[in-house]
Amino acid sequence: MNKNNLKVIVFSLAVILAVGFAVYRFITLNDDFEIDDAEARNALKWLRAADKGDFDDCRESAAAAEKWFDLFQKNRESLENLKSRQLRSKSIGRNGTYKIIFKSEFSKAPKIDEVVWISKDAKVHQVEYQYSRMPFPRRNQQVDGSPEEIQEVSSAISRAINAMKTLDVDFFNQVTLRGRKYKGGKRIVERLKKIFDQAGYPRKYSSPRIRFAENFPGKTEIRAAWAVVSCFYKMNGKDYRNGVFIVLYKNTSAAKPRWEIYRFNPGRIIDPEKLKMYQRRKNAKKK
């Protein structure tokens, strides 16, 4: 065996050992002996009781199991089985509590954070589930909305369309994107202005096609809806259109639940005849 072959073997063994150790650390990271922090250990113990469905024990060890606990239980049950849990961070929370965040994976939610507020005496003050990137409702998922919800969503969409007509930067700065506030109004308005400079203001809007979605695992208080509005243009004697895709959410547990626009995405201008031709070609390929 020459030296080069020996180096390759040694290097390969080192890589295998490193990968094996990394996997071991990932699997055992949240075992009791791996977490030295007392508050994190207590939070983990509390969450493990919930994993087993021992919500009575969890309630007894909560500081004040009021409305938040009922919501937590409903959210936890919606996630179903735990697949993995990693300690992410610890910080000083509110009212003298500690904020412990676990990066977790459940059978119904592959990426979600468990946020626990816990005090020195191991009393849990609140637990919430947070998506770092809220999922979009699936288009093939349709749940009937009440007449009130349809009216509320239609009103929210009308405000968005009006902001689109007037290129209202301030309105779009309030739109939430993937669960976080962002200052994207200027970017959206610049895109709309480019469309309007090309085609002039749209001459007609279609009625919105609205679909409602079920609540999300871990966020059972969130009601979701998505809508598509077609905007029609007249250019050089021909008709064109573009679609505006809107996603809305409503937090039903809020003091004043209301629909808020979460994503507003104006599409590009499309020649309907070219679109029909594209669809015909696509269907022909399938056959």
Instruction: Tell me the per-residue pLDDT of 128-148, one tens digit each, with 9 for 90 and over.
Output: 999 887 777 776 666 778 888
What tokens were used for 118?
A: 């816990």
Counting every residue written for the chain, the total comes to 287
What tokens were used for 274?
A: 């070219």
What are the pLDDT digits (tens) for 184-222?
778 888 888 888 887 777 778 888 888 888 788 999 998
CA distances for 166 relative to 172, 180, 202, 216, angstroms:
11, 25, 12, 34
Residue 77: predicted pLDDT:
97
Residue 139: predicted pLDDT:
65
pTM of the model: 0.70
Residue type for position 227: A
Residues of the chain with pLDDT under 70: 1-11, 14-15, 17-36, 65, 139-142, 176-183, 272-276, 278-279, 282, 286-287
Residue 186: predicted pLDDT:
83
Residue ranges and CATH numbers for the domains of the chain are 33-130 (3.10.450.50), 147-286 (3.10.450)
What tokens were used for 168?
A: 């209202």
What tokens were used for 112?
A: 């979600």
Tokens 């739109």, residue?
175
Residue 265: predicted pLDDT:
78
C-alpha to C-alpha distance for 186 and 256, rounded to whole angstroms: 29
What tokens were used for 22?
A: 């990394």
Residue 24: predicted pLDDT:
46
Residue type for position 233: Y
SS3 content of the chain, % helix, strand, coil (to 5): 40, 30, 30
Residue 4: predicted pLDDT:
63
Kindly give, in sequence order, each residue whose CB lies less than 8 Å from that of residue 153, ignoring residues fewer than 6 positions away. 145, 208, 210, 225, 227, 248, 259
Nearest to 222 by CA among 185, 193, 200, 248: 248
| Residue spans of beta strands (DSSP E) within the chain | 82-92, 98-106, 112-118, 124-130, 176-177, 180-181, 204-205, 209-213, 222-235, 238-251, 259-266
